[in-house]
Amino acid sequence: MEGDIAEMGKFIGAGLATMGLGGAGIGVGHIAGNFLSGALRNPSAAPGQMANLFVGIAFAEALGIFSFLIALLLMFAV
Amino acid sequence: MATETHGEAEAAAGMPQLDFATWPNQIFWLLVTLVVIYLVLSRIALPRIGAVLADRKSTITNDLAAAEELKQKAVTAEKAYQDALANARTEAAKIVAQAKTAIQKDLDVAIAKADVEISAKAAESEKTIAAIRDGAAAAVSEVARDVAAELVAVLGGGADATAVKAAVTARLKG
Amino acid sequence: MATTVEEHAAGGLQIHPMDQFVVKPLFGHGPIEWYTPTNVTLWMAIAVLCVVALMVLSTRRRAIVPSRGQSVAELFYGFIHKMVEDVAGHEGLKFFPYVMTVFLFIFMSNMLGLIPMSFSTTSHIAVTAVLAMMVFLTVTLVGFYRKGTGFLSMFWVSSAPLILRPILALIELISYFVRPLSHSIRLGGNLMAGHAVIKVFAGFAGAMGVASVVPIAAITAIYGLELLVAAVQAYVFTILTCVYLRDAVGEAHH
């Protein structure tokens, strides 16, 4: 029975950890939205900033991927 | 930590990524792969593509230079043509001016000659006119004298010719 | 899911989204030694063949007016060359073959991994960690070699108020050492998550009978997204490599 409770705790923890992905979603959406509004104001400058856009998205996304990793670790590795 | 594997069936249970037993294998083959790709790229592919791109660039540059040269030539040719045209025009203007001067000279000479002739003729005519006038004046006094003598005779006077002549001359002069 | 408990006893779910990542020997069932030819070997070899086909065979004719394959190769060349020059600076061009190697390997592996029944090598932390550690070590060693202790001035933000500098230095130091971690987890995690999601939906499709059109449509949509992710993650890994290289070779920008 104790093992089952530990199992349950793992799954609950994994579910909680995936909430971090919401933060990554907010961050990526923020970056993309701000890029778009800036690009609509000054379309000629937009292509030069594509690299910065992707780097920003990558940085924001990495933190979400961390929480996904935590979830996977809880599910499969702990 | 990772599930220790004794076979694939149990490896499937956990995350295969965290099955550290397979890490040396993956890392070894990854390094082999990277070295192979690196050697292929740095020895063969990248220099070749770089050379092709440089070739293309120089070809384009050469073509552009040739085009520029041709354009220069065209400009020169046009300039020569324009020069020739301008020269011809000046030449023509000069010829026209010369012809004009020559004609003017001829004209002047002719006009002068004509003037001289005209003035000669005018003088002659004047002389003739003067002679005619003199003749006419003499004829007038003659006629006046005759008429006066006739009148006197008709009126019954026996006037002598000398007196009549004197009287007529006095009247003509008056 | 009545059998969940039994499945748990066997140590897994009914849907096995992680099965696709298992490293297996190509021949037989022996233990995996470091030299054993496995499916990792197979798919890495295929990636190498693809790179060779694209970058060497298609450019064989060295045409001034390129063929289709050659223009793709030139496109990649120009794209990465410009990225390295723009981001890492002119000095960074010495690392161009290295960056190109990393990019082409990741790009080809990502794309090959999307072939059904294939094995995506870049979804393994072992692979991405080695790639990221190589970048990290290169940046650190080249930075110290070229700038000496001046490389450390990267952590000492001279434009900040003096009182904040130690705190900022600590943050910069931590973020510097987190770089290889995030660099590798980002690539591996993205790939793994995408493939696992596709597998989970495929499991639904197997269990739903006629209604499985819905998960199949979803798989199609996710597959399109995964194509995008595969290209973007290769791009992101490469451009971050260039960003880190700038710290080592570029002018100080603090």
C252 part of contact set with chain A, CB < 8 Å: no
Would you call A73 and B13 a contact, using CB atoms and an 8 Å cutoff?
A: no
Judge whether residue B168 has pLDDT over 80: no
Q: Which residues contact C29 (CB under 8 A, 6 or more apart)?
A: B7, B8
B5 part of contact set with chain A, CB < 8 Å: no
Looking at CA atoms only, how far is residue A72 from chain B in angstroms? 8
Looking at CA atoms only, how far is residue C188 from chain A in angstroms? 9
Judge whether residue C41 has pLDDT over 70: yes
| Dihedral sign (CA B119, B125, B130, B131) | positive
Contacts 24+ apart (CB under 8 A), B111-118: none
Share of chain A above pLDDT 70, in %: 97
The DSSP secondary-structure symbol of B17 reads G
Confidence of residue B88 (pLDDT cuts 50, 70, 90): very high
**Residue A72: its chain B contacts at CB < 8 A?**
15
Confidence of residue C1 (pLDDT cuts 50, 70, 90): very low
**Residue B18: its chain C contacts at CB < 8 A?**
125
Confidence of residue B171 (pLDDT cuts 50, 70, 90): confident
pLDDT in tens, C168-219: 899 889 989 988 988 898 899 889 888 988 988 888 887 777 888 888 999 9
pLDDT in tens, C136-156: 999 999 999 988 888 888 888
Residue C161's pLDDT is what?
84
Confidence of residue B112 (pLDDT cuts 50, 70, 90): very high
Would you call B22 and C38 a contact, using CB atoms and an 8 Å cutoff?
A: yes
Tokens of C45: 């070899």
pLDDT in tens, C49-70: 999 999 999 888 888 888 888 9
Burial class (CB in 10 A: 0-12, 13-18, 19+), C4: exposed
**Residue C130: its chain B contacts at CB < 8 A?**
27, 30-31
Residue A2's pLDDT is what?
62
Residue B174's pLDDT is what?
64
Higher pLDDT, C237 or B12: C237
Judge whether residue A47 has pLDDT over 90: no
Task: List the chains bordering chain C where 3 or more Cβ pairs fall under 8 Å.
Answer: A, B
Higher pLDDT, B94 or C5: B94
The DSSP annotation for B76-114 comes to HHHHHHHHHHHHHHHHHHHHHHHHHHHHHHHHHHHHHHH
Taking the domains of chain B in order of start, what are their residue ranges? 13-126
Q: What is the mean pLDDT of the segment spanning A12-25?
A: 91
Give the number of domains in chain C.
Answer: 1
Share of chain C above pLDDT 70, in %: 93
Domain containing residue C64: 49-249
ipTM for the complex shown = 0.86
Confidence of residue A69 (pLDDT cuts 50, 70, 90): confident
Residue B13's pLDDT is what?
54
Backbone angles phi, psi at B28, to 5 degrees: -60, -50
Has residue C16 been placed in a domain? no
Would you call A77 and B13 a contact, using CB atoms and an 8 Å cutoff?
A: no
**Residue C193: its chain A contacts at CB < 8 A?**
65, 68
CA dihedral of residues C33, C38, C182, C179 (deg, nearest 10): 60
Residue A1's pLDDT is what?
52
Residue of B nearest to A71 (CA): B15
Lowest mean pLDDT among A45-59, B160-174, C101-115, C138-152: B160-174
Q: What is the mean pLDDT of the segment spanning B14-20?
A: 79
**Residue C236: its chain A contacts at CB < 8 A?**
54-55, 57-58
**Residue B32: its chain C contacts at CB < 8 A?**
44
Judge whether residue B135 has pLDDT over 60: yes
Would you call C22 and B11 a contact, using CB atoms and an 8 Å cutoff?
A: yes
Distance CA C15, CA C247 (A): 45
User: What string of H, E and C letters represents the secondary structure of chain C?
Assistant: CCCHHHHHHHCCCCCCCCHHHCCCECCCCCCCCCCCCEHHHHHHHHHHHHHHHHHHHCCCCCCCCCCHHHHHHHHHHHHHHHHHHHHHCHHHHHHHHHHHHHHHHHHHHHHHHCCCCCCCHHHCHHHHHHHHHHHHHHHHHHHHHHHHHHHHHHCCCCCCCCCCHHHHHHHHHHHHHHHHHHHHHHHHHHHHHHHHHHHHHHHHHHHCHHHHHHHHHHHHHHHHHHHHHHHHHHHHHHHHHHHHHHHHHCCCCC
**Residue B18: its chain A contacts at CB < 8 A?**
73, 76-77
Distance CA C29, CA B30 (A): 22
Q: At what angle do helices C125-147 and C96-113 cross, to 10 degrees?
A: 170
A51 part of contact set with chain C, CB < 8 Å: yes
Domains (range + CATH), chain A: 2-77 (1.20.20.10)
Task: List the chains bordering chain B where 3 or more Cβ pairs fall under 8 Å.
Answer: A, C
Tokens of C200: 């989970």
Distance CA B18, CA C143 (A): 32
Judge whether residue B160 has pLDDT over 80: no
Chain A interface, best mutation among B5, B17, B20, by max A CB count within 10 A: B17
Looking at CA atoms only, how far is residue B77 from chain C in angstroms? 33
Which residues numbered 17-76 in A keep a CB inside 8 Å of some CB on B? 72-73, 76
Judge whether residue C101 has pLDDT over 90: yes
Q: What is the mean pLDDT of the segment spanning B14-24?
A: 83
